Homo-oligomer: A and B are copies of this chain.
Amino acid sequence: MVKALILITDGTEEMDTIAYDTLVRAGIDCTSAFVPKGLSPYGSSDTSPALAVCSRQVKILPDVTLDPLDAGPDKYDVLIIPGGMGGAVTMAGSTEVQNLVGAYYNHPEKRIIGMICAGILFILVDRIRGLWSICLQGSKVAITAKLPGQPITSHPSVQSEFPDYFDYKEQSVVVSDAVAGKATLVTSRGPGTAFPFAFTLVELLCGKAKRDEVVGPMIFPTGIGYPF
């Protein structure tokens, strides 16, 4: 059974987590994992409750609290990082999560890393607020510097943050297999592209027929410009 791990924390954009619902419709075994602020080397040491208060105050109870030792690419086929600036900054500031992203990226059995909206800031972690450049150098090398020319997209508000050696696209969803033997990167722009993002993940994980089966009953407007 295909398995997906979706990270969530305080400040996560609730609409970006839509992938959970869509992936379940495709028969994928989904687990949402709360990322406590305490995991960050620079964050507060408070023991945040497992209940995530999202960016617009929707309160979601994740399935588990993130245990980095039980969240790796041996267990899951895809790692999904939603946006919401507050949540993305918390995740990007966590060495455990950074190491997790690196493990998925480098796993010999090709995995998928999905990032949407501000979640794409993960690959820019050294730039966020100027705080991380030294501490996270290792992650930076693993996640950023080894991805020259990698096609990506993100929320437009953070587009200017990307170095020139990224091949920045203004597409709803960008799938990149640019680096042989590494994870497939799936990046997307914002809440408005959350459905196409989820459908792209379903297609990659379960095939086009399954994607079409899932899309049908959801009744998208006719003429929709989603990249189907």
Contact = CB atoms under 8 A, between A and B. Distances in A.
Contacts of A13: 21
Given A18-B15, A60-B59, A155 B193 contact: no
A219 B21 contact: no
Nearest to A32: B58
A220 B60 CA distance: 24
A130 interface: no
Interface in A17-58: 17-18, 20-21, 24-25, 30, 32, 51, 54-58
Contact of A193 (B57, B172, B189, B220): B220
Interface of A: 13-15, 17-18, 20-21, 24-25, 30, 32, 51, 54-63, 155-157, 172, 189-193, 195-196, 215, 217-227
Contact of A218 (B55, B190, B227): B190
A221 B188 CA distance: 10
A21 B56 contact: yes
A87 B76 CA distance: 30
A190 B215 CA distance: 11
A27 B78 CA distance: 35
A204 to B, nearest CB: 18
Nearest to A13: B21
7 contacts: A21-B55, A24-B56, A51-B61, A61-B61, A155-B217, A196-B221, A225-B225
Contacts of A224: 221, 224-226
A217 B159 CA distance: 13
